[in-house]
Amino acid sequence: MTRTIDLDLAAASWQVRRQDGLSASEEAQFQAWLDADTAHSQAYARMQHVWSGLGELHPTAVAQLAKAMPARKKPAFAWQGLASAALAICVMGAGWLGWDHVQQQPVFHQSFASARGELLDVHLPDGSVLKLDTATRVEVTLYRQRREVRLPEGQANFYVRADKERPFDVLTDSLRVTVVGTRFAVRNTHAGLGLAGETVTVEDGRVRVAPLHATGGAGAMELTAGESVQANRTGALGTVDTRLAHGALLWREGRINFDNTPLAQAVAEFERYGDTSLLIKDAEVAAMRVNGSFDTRLAADFGSALPQVLPVQLRKHGNVTEIIAQRRAAK
């Protein structure tokens, strides 16, 4: 054990001296020391590994370790006093690195996915519950100090178990939503009602929404119960909306809410839940607006009702039903 400590101290001495540069003769002495015994080179390799790892420490850890380092002195052979301090710091640093490594290791990781037309409840080990909408995929990773869910596609509702020591983040293509304990929903779909971007809706509590790669809180906002916000695909947030929050959560009850929604977008939203057999070729028809709440399982009823509320007719082509304008049908 004593020999190992002596070797580590010698390695620390060379590490400190080499930080300021060695003369040609000193470099030769260093190489001779390395070549004299494989234990020397192994000790120096250990020192370099820990020394380089100190640069990866959290700023708080660096500040605490720095307190142990005496002020550098310029007189000759000052490195001899620094070597012991450097060795002590590297030992503490290795401890910090080990602790930091442990904290960064997940205690739970699993992916979940719902099928087309399925609503899926997911119970997490921390007590939180996720409800996945149709065709939704999430990747859940729980750490000792934080919780993270990635939502690459779909829509999900989150009932987050409160834990001030472990913030809960939901990451989409362009947003980061951070909470401690609340109920909210996040939508990240590339069709239907989510065509324009991503949406965050808060049912209870408070959440912080920010562009995924923003720094220093740039572009962030806080939402409270009953508020909703939409972001474009770059993460730029729109204005807070209190009108659409309830309608945005109806999917949990198996319903879709349309509010002045283009017909083509409404049909695409139904397609997320199952095959509608509805086809739109006419741009004018596609742009017609629809309103109301509809059962996600009754796309056929939705299509059948369209001629009663819009100037359109239905034309069958085998298994496909085309929605056409009345003026075309009259020809």
Q: Give the tens place of pLDDT for each residue, 13-37.
A: 777 677 667 788 888 888 888 888 8
| 62 shares its domain with 139 | no
| Between residues 331 and 50, the one the model is more confident about | 50
| 115 shares its domain with 225 | yes
3 pLDDT band (50/70/90 cuts)?
Answer: low
Choose the final residue of a domain: 46, 79, 104: 104
Mean pLDDT of 73-81: 46
pLDDT reading at 83 higher than 60: no
| 113 shares its domain with 242 | yes
Q: Give the tens place of pLDDT for each residue, 209-223.
A: 998 887 766 788 999
pLDDT reading at 325 higher than 90: yes
| 239 shares its domain with 310 | no
Mean pLDDT of 38-66: 60
pLDDT reading at 10 higher than 60: yes
| 86 shares its domain with 166 | no
Distance CA 117, CA 126 (A): 28
Domain count, the chain: 3
Q: Give the tens place of pLDDT for each residue, 165-182.
A: 899 999 999 999 999 678
| 167 shares its domain with 235 | yes
| 75 shares its domain with 22 | yes
| 238 shares its domain with 134 | yes
| 189 shares its domain with 89 | no
53 pLDDT band (50/70/90 cuts)?
Answer: low
Q: What is the pLDDT of residue 50?
A: 63
**Going by C-beta distance under 8 Å and a sequence separation of 6 or more, which residues neighbour residue 204?**
182, 183, 184, 225
| 6 shares its domain with 67 | yes
Q: What is the pLDDT of residue 291?
A: 92
| 77 shares its domain with 114 | no
pLDDT reading at 226 higher than 70: yes
68 pLDDT band (50/70/90 cuts)?
Answer: very low
Domain that holds residue 20: 2-104
Q: What is the pLDDT of residue 69?
A: 43
| 231 shares its domain with 264 | no
Choose the final residue of a domain: 226, 248, 270: 248
Q: What is the pLDDT of residue 60?
A: 45
Averaged pLDDT score across all residues of the chain: 80
Instruction: Tokens for 212, please give them.
Output: 């995924």
Q: Kindly report the pTM of this predicted structure.
A: 0.66
CATH number at residue 261: 3.55.50.30
61 pLDDT band (50/70/90 cuts)?
Answer: very low
pLDDT reading at 331 higher than 70: no
7 pLDDT band (50/70/90 cuts)?
Answer: confident
Choose the final residue of a domain: 215, 248, 281: 248
